[in-house]
Amino acid sequence: MFTPKYPPQDTAPPPTVQTVYRPVPYAPAHIPAPPAPPAHRPSVQLTAGSTLALVAGGGAAVLVVGAVLVSMLLAVAVTAASVAVCAVVVCSILKGNKR
């Protein structure tokens, strides 16, 4: 009842013939592509004020990212300390029950 029923071997479809793709060799004379036309984009002109603004913005970003990372580290340290205090309290409670 639980054994699989296999079809007889002669019901398999006949094998198909596969054609092999062989690319045609292509050897034209080597013609270099024309150079791309130069881009007509306006160049960025950095003045003293814009440079100062970029430096101030970068410094502010570094300070903000540093403050976030320090606060996350502080949160992990406070959590670890509270878990350690809880572990000491639980150990002392369990030792008190054994007496």
Which helix (H) or strand (E) element contains residue 34? none
How far is residue 5 CA from its own chain's centroid?
48
Q: How does pLDDT run across 25-57, given as a tens digit for each residue?
A: 766 667 777 788 777 777 778 888 999 999 999
pTM metric for this prediction = 0.46
53-97 pLDDT per residue, tens = 999 999 999 999 999 999 999 999 999 999 999 999 999 998 877
Domain boundaries, the chain: 64-99
> CA-to-CA distance for 88 and 82, rounded, in angstroms?
10
DSSP 43: P
